[in-house]
A and B are shown apart, each in its own frame.
Chain A
Amino acid sequence: MANGILILAEHLKGEVADITFEMLGAGRTLADALKVPLHVAVIGQGAGAVAPKLGLADAVFVVETPGSELPPASTVAVLLKGLVEQKQEGLVLIGWTNLAMGVGSVLSARADLPLVNFCRGIRVEGGGLVVTSQLFGGKILSDVALADGRGIVSVSAGAFPADAGRSDKAATVETVALPVEAPAVAFKRFIEPEAGDVDITRQDILVAVGRGIQTQDNVGMAEELATALGGAVCGSRPVVDQGWLTLSRQVGKSGMTVKPRLYLALGISGAPEHVEGMQGAQTIVAVNTDANAPIFDVAKYGICQDVLELLPVLTEKIKARKG
């Protein structure tokens, strides 16, 4: 594999997202092993301002998109394709995030490169790469070989440590002008998260409920436990989609990233989109009826039981212990 590795940086409101540093760390290791250059593409309005922060790369390419704040995935894909051709890149790493979702698919179709989604790991094998991905809500892993090391890999958040991608070195920045049509989709405005009654990112103790909680009434049982523990209730996507908790209480990909001292996961299977938001918790206790639920792979303590049976008993015992 003689070609370079290109990472699509992710930036929003002037901030570089952690996924960018996670990919940079992983990309550096791969580039050194394969003896190829590591490049970063920063695309969109404000790209030039964030580029210097990406010093771990051998070069950072800046493509500004005047008049198009937050260009749509198809526009980003067309610009990336231009860079891949101009700079002769072999491997493209893109974050598996809400912001970048769709970029890999369009680039794959346009550049005729294979795309591998949900990446949790990449290793060099022979002259090529093997990509490990998480499928079916984290229950199954797959290995896909990119024999010549060419392709697009969509990397899950949290798969690699972000610290390995940070560097004090000033980046070598090159501004690249590429032609692009004005996109049909136009960004209008941000909708800031509603100020919830409780900021779950600041809680020491969180009681999280998932599909296993079954009804809105049962969420009340979880509230009672949270109160007994001196914490707050949060939840996974299905519970918020049902309207049983507000968006401000959602943990995961679209919701909040939380790092409490104690995270009690009740009836949560542990799909990657949820784990992304809570894997940094100090102590995770999971309760689920499915002994094979992926949540037990991230939890410190596991209980294979019906949350609805355990909840009232646990709440009473905690109240008793606390007096």
Chain B
Amino acid sequence: MNLFVLLKTVPDTVEELTVAADNKSLDAEWLRFKLSDADEHALEQALLLKEKHGGKVTVVAMDAPELDESLFMAFAKGADRVVKLAGELAAVQSLSAARLFAGFLEGEGQPLPNDALVLVRSQAIDDLEGEIGPYLADLLGLPYVGVVTGIVPEGGGVTVTKEFAGGLRGEFSCPMPAVLGIQSAEKPPRYVPIAKVRAAMKSSTLETVDVSTDAPARFPIDRLYKPESAGRAEMIDGSPEEVADRLVDLLANQSLI
């Protein structure tokens, strides 16, 4: 199989997020970036498919701060080829990003081969103007299924499992090539020790492809701000002992225990 995985980094929300002075963006000074959870799962799913059915995993990402370490980690985990799309990309949103990825995937006007699957995150925490998968599929004229948690090759295509709500899932048959939005891989993303990532940094090469876009942002953000803490919890402070005593009292008073 020809497996393509599109990756992007997002701000790590474990860190404190601060709004910049313009009130329209995050203060970059304090941001740490990491792959989004769904990206880790998309990569894992591609590696699982390769291990089971053979093939090649190509990782593609738009250049961004702190991206390279994630890309070398992809190498360390088993990606065969890693490509970075570089250029003036700061203001690129999902639709224009999809155009850049579509341009790369179609190469010199060549359609994707019949055994190709493009795996993307189902959604990311900063996809304010839409998810990339459906845009990309539409541009490439390929089928798309999102919120996917399972992929099994069958006939000339794949059978995919999609999650709905309440634990209900559905099975769909989808021809290849296709774009699939991954929610969770069939196994938890594998761990690679940092030594293996360092080794990949020495032995592997990231390819860089220059791209350009003149697409303007589809809408400007007027204001970015922190949620007001109006309905905020009553905080219980103290040592674990004190906190536990207080909580047990509170629960008992409300007949919860």
Given A114-B129, A115-B130, are A184 and B174 also a contact pair (CB < 8 Å)? Answer: yes
Given A114-B218, A185-B174, are A300 and B184 also a contact pair (CB < 8 Å)? Answer: no
Do residues A193 and B167 form an inter-chain contact, with CB atoms below 8 A? Answer: yes
- B112-147 toward A: CB 8 Å interface, digit per residue (1/0)? 000000000011011111110111011100011111
Q: For chain B residues 215-237, which have a beta carbon within 8 Å of chain A?
A: 218-227, 229, 231-237
**Chain B positions within 8 Å of A103 at CB level:** 134
- What separation, in Å, do the CA atoms of A27 and B66 have in the docked complex? 42
Q: Is B208 an interface residue (CB 8 A)?
A: no
- B164-185 toward A: CB 8 Å interface, digit per residue (1/0)? 1111111111110000010110
Given A144-B219, A297-B227, A303-B243, are A229 and B257 also a contact pair (CB < 8 Å)? Answer: yes
Give, as a whole number of angstroms, the nearest-CB distance from A110 to chain B: 7
Do residues A133 and B165 form an inter-chain contact, with CB atoms below 8 A? Answer: no
Q: Which of B122, B135, B236, B248 contacts A302 (CB 8 A)?
A: B236
Q: For chain A residues 81-131, which have a beta carbon within 8 Å of chain B?
A: 97-99, 101-106, 108-110, 114-118, 130
- What separation, in Å, do the CA atoms of A106 and B123 have in the docked complex? 14
- What separation, in Å, do the CA atoms of A313 and B177 have in the docked complex? 55
**Chain B positions within 8 Å of A139 at CB level:** 13, 17, 226-227
CB closest residue in chain A, given B224 = A142
Do residues B232 and A73 form an inter-chain contact, with CB atoms below 8 A? Answer: no
**Chain B positions within 8 Å of A130 at CB level:** 222
CB closest residue in chain A, given B175 = A184
Do residues B240 and A305 form an inter-chain contact, with CB atoms below 8 A? Answer: yes
CB closest residue in chain B, given A249 = B167
Do residues A205 and B256 form an inter-chain contact, with CB atoms below 8 A? Answer: yes
Q: Which of A117, A242, A290, A301 contacts B129 (CB 8 A)?
A: A117
The interface centre, meaning the residue of B19, B171, B175, B240 with most chain A CB atoms within 10 A of its CB, is B240
Do residues B244 and A105 form an inter-chain contact, with CB atoms below 8 A? Answer: no
Given A136-B125, A185-B172, A301-B250, are A72 and B223 also a contact pair (CB < 8 Å)? Answer: no
Give, as a whole number of angstroms, the nearest-CB distance from B160 to chain A: 8
- What separation, in Å, do the CA atoms of A107 and B13 have in the docked complex? 30
Do residues A98 and B147 form an inter-chain contact, with CB atoms below 8 A? Answer: yes
Give, as a whole number of angstroms, the nearest-CB distance from A212 to chain B: 10
- What separation, in Å, do the CA atoms of A285 and B127 have in the docked complex? 30
Q: Is B252 an interface residue (CB 8 A)?
A: yes
**Chain A positions within 8 Å of B241 at CB level:** 313
Give, as a whole number of angstroms, the nearest-CB distance from B114 to chain A: 13
- What separation, in Å, do the CA atoms of A54 and B220 have in the docked complex? 34
Give, as a whole number of angstroms, the nearest-CB distance from B23 to chain A: 10
**Chain A positions within 8 Å of B8 at CB level:** none
Q: Which of B166, B220, B243, B254 contacts A257 (CB 8 A)?
A: B166
Q: Is B94 an interface residue (CB 8 A)?
A: yes
Q: For chain A residues 215-253, which have a beta carbon within 8 Å of chain B?
A: 229, 237-238, 241-243, 247-248, 250, 253
Do residues B227 and A138 form an inter-chain contact, with CB atoms below 8 A? Answer: yes
- What separation, in Å, do the CA atoms of A98 and B146 have in the docked complex? 8
**Chain A positions within 8 Å of B254 at CB level:** 283
Q: For chain A residues 292-323, which have a beta carbon within 8 Å of chain B?
A: 292, 294, 296-305, 309-310, 313-314, 316-318, 321-322
Do residues A254 and B170 form an inter-chain contact, with CB atoms below 8 A? Answer: no
Q: Is B2 an interface residue (CB 8 A)?
A: no
Q: Is B57 an interface residue (CB 8 A)?
A: no
- What separation, in Å, do the CA atoms of A286 and B226 have in the docked complex? 20
Q: Is A208 an interface residue (CB 8 A)?
A: no
Do residues A191 and B171 form an inter-chain contact, with CB atoms below 8 A? Answer: yes
Do residues A104 and B240 form an inter-chain contact, with CB atoms below 8 A? Answer: no
**Chain B positions within 8 Å of A105 at CB level:** 94, 130-131, 133-135, 138
Give, as a whole number of angstroms, the nearest-CB distance from B253 to chain A: 11
Q: Is A143 an interface residue (CB 8 A)?
A: yes
Chain A: residues with CB nearer than 8 A to chain B? 12, 17, 70, 72-74, 77, 97-99, 101-106, 108-110, 114-118, 130, 133-146, 151, 154, 183-194, 205, 229, 237-238, 241-243, 247-248, 250, 253-257, 261-262, 269, 271, 283-286, 290, 292, 294, 296-305, 309-310, 313-314, 316-318, 321-322
* A–B complex contacts, Cβ < 8 Å, 20 sampled: A70-B170, A98-B146, A98-B165, A106-B135, A134-B227, A138-B227, A143-B222, A154-B130, A186-B174, A187-B172, A188-B159, A242-B188, A243-B187, A254-B165, A255-B165, A256-B166, A283-B254, A300-B233, A302-B234, A314-B247
- Extra 14 A-B pairs, beta carbons < 8 Å, given A140-B19, A283-B254: A101-B123, A116-B129, A135-B125, A135-B128, A140-B225, A140-B226, A144-B128, A188-B171, A256-B167, A284-B233, A297-B227, A304-B235, A318-B257, A321-B252
By Cβ-Cβ distance, the 8 closest A-B pairs, closest first, are A193-B167, A302-B233, A102-B134, A105-B134, A299-B233, A105-B130, A184-B143, A191-B169
